[in-house]
Amino acid sequence: MKYRMFLTVCLLVLGLGSTGYIQGQQNFKDLVGPVQVGPVRQTSPMTVPFITWGGDMATFYANGGLTTRTGTIFNKQGLNLKLEAGDNFIQQVRDYMSGKTPFLRGTFRMIGIASEVIGADPRTRGVVIMQLTWSAGDHMVVRSNLRTISDLKGKTVVLQQGGPHVGMLDDILKTARLSWSDIKVVWAKDLTGSPQSPAEMFRKDPNIAACFAITPDMIGLCGGLQNTGSGAEGTVRGARVLVSTAELSRSIADVYVCRKDFYDENTEAVLKFVAGYFKACEEVLKLKKDYESKGSAPYMELLRLTQSIYGKDVIPTLEEDAHGLLSDCTFVGYPGNVEFFTKQNNLHGFEAFLKSSLDLAVGQGYARQRAEFLPSGFDYSQPIFTNYLANITVQKRERFRAEVVQKEIEELSSGGALDERTIITFTINFEPNQTDFSTNRYGSEYQRVVEMADKYANAVIAIRGHSDPTKTLYDLVKAGIAKGVLQQSGSRGNYQYSFKGKPLDITETESILKLIEAGAFDGVTDYNPRQTMQAALNLSRKRAEEVRDTIIAYCRSKGLELDQSQIQAVGVGIREPFIAKPGNMDEARQNMRVEFRLIRITAEAESSTVFDF
């Protein structure tokens, strides 16, 4: 079972108590309190904080334990480190400011929350020296009345104050084009294991529409990532995961930050620490792969080491809990860091995260003013990287298998389960015979698609073309009457129909389509609803493909990267009209649309992950 993500760091991230919950935000500077800035006290051994997260297992591996052991990666780099638990993030910041350690360990958004404090003195201004991982193990669980994230508007959401789920919620709201003022937030003090945790508050209070949870609590609420709670075995009836970092895979970025004064005076030591961590990632991932295919004694040693450091209360078992902890994160390594810090127009790079983190910190009251921190500034072509590491290039592969994705979307549509897998949907409309889908007209919607594709890197965006059924219905009526199988009665605007003597409601699209597909109206020379329906399907597919191609061209013109396998064009035809029998052109235009759906798909459709190089 994959879980324990940020278990302790979220419990203590703001140094809060273990009972009750909070009604409002607190300024981070007030929480830290007065602290005297001092020089880094000791460099051998050098204190380095870690948190409860799978990405830190590579640090344990490189060091051989809490102190640097002979023959380990860090030892061979000439480093002497003392690893200390940093799950109390407030205390981490105090230690950083006072000089006990030159490093901070957290998520990018957590560093943003602390930005005003650490940026108040030029000596302690933060330099982000590396990204460790992306999260793949956090979840937003919702009740049955929330179909997509757009339905969050006006709803109550519970999450723990100050942890990484704050940034995750911020990303979700932006996806839905909502603001924090559009929802009601209840701040829980505890992450898990108490009546004041988000999962338990969601369980007890039906007025709470959504909660953020780590994997074990998610399973307790709904039974699993693809399941819906039945009410049995402690689950909440109708509860399901609407968003997970399994899809929202570029939301929670783990980083190390170094004090500016220490970085300037000890750049070589910092480089060695970063390069050593990258090397450890390579070796740990290889051991993990060996373990999963044929077993690995060294990997089991790492799992035992992790259990000894975190304790059996956090890691009860090796193969389920320790291995699951590592599996809940996606390592980015050297290739991911090069991309994060140096790639131009990177929507999930350093500059983008810096802006969103400071926007969040100031906007939600953690900071009173913006205080930027700095990128590593490393020359990644240095021999300390290129001559030392095995994986120094990003392996660019299409992430999804197009034929599998297309089949899965078709099965979801025909089986009526597409809505259950949809995170959000929105549409653009067009005029009859329109062929221009340019960025001049739809640029804001295309930018929205690109941003979704980047942030939700393990989800698929289906571009679904829809057509108006008016012409098909007209041909159906004419053909049916000509064949003598359809009778029409009543007056214009209020016609009633019967098929072979039985009432037929032509607004029941599914029934009408079945009759057409069965050949009920075939054989009339001048009117062929089957042919008209197929033409509408072909046209809807063509329009979807034109929109997809325009989005791809838009990305190229902006210098933005887009995995084309993530964008799938689908023709729906007349199967899903907004108005089944339009009475005028305004109603018909509502059916003439291209719909964008962000869809959670199964692992079978993926050909690669975002990184884990």
Measured distance CA(353)–CA(374) in Å, rounded: 12
Residue 417's pLDDT is what? Answer: 87
pLDDT tens readout for residues 498-514: 999 999 999 999 999 99
Model confidence at 411, pLDDT cuts 50, 70, 90, reads confident
**Span 551-571, mean pLDDT?**
93
Work out the percent of the chain whose per-residue pLDDT is above 70: 94
Model confidence at 111, pLDDT cuts 50, 70, 90, reads very high
Provide CB contacts within 8 A for 7, sequence distance 6+: 52, 191, 192, 214, 314
Work out the percent of the chain whose per-residue pLDDT is above 90: 79
Quote the tokens at residue 218: 């998610």
Model confidence at 9, pLDDT cuts 50, 70, 90, reads very low
Q: Is the pLDDT of residue 6 over 60?
A: no
Closest CA to 111 of 253, 270, 275: 253
Q: Is the pLDDT of residue 279 over 70?
A: yes
- Model pTM above 0.95: no
pLDDT tens readout for residues 151-195: 999 999 999 876 678 999 999 999 999 999 999 999 987 777 788
More confident call, 410 vs 134: 134
Q: Is the pLDDT of residue 3 over 80?
A: no
Residue 611's pLDDT is what? Answer: 59
Residue 190's pLDDT is what? Answer: 78
Q: Is the pLDDT of residue 18 over 50?
A: no
**Span 582-602, mean pLDDT?**
94
Q: Is the pLDDT of residue 1 over 60?
A: no
Residue 471's pLDDT is what? Answer: 97
Closest CA to 326 of 283, 294, 271: 283
In this structure, how many other beta carbons lie within 10 angstroms of the beta carbon of residue 312?
Answer: 10
What integer best gives the mean pLDDT of the chain? 91
Measured distance CA(297)–CA(158) in Å, rounded: 42
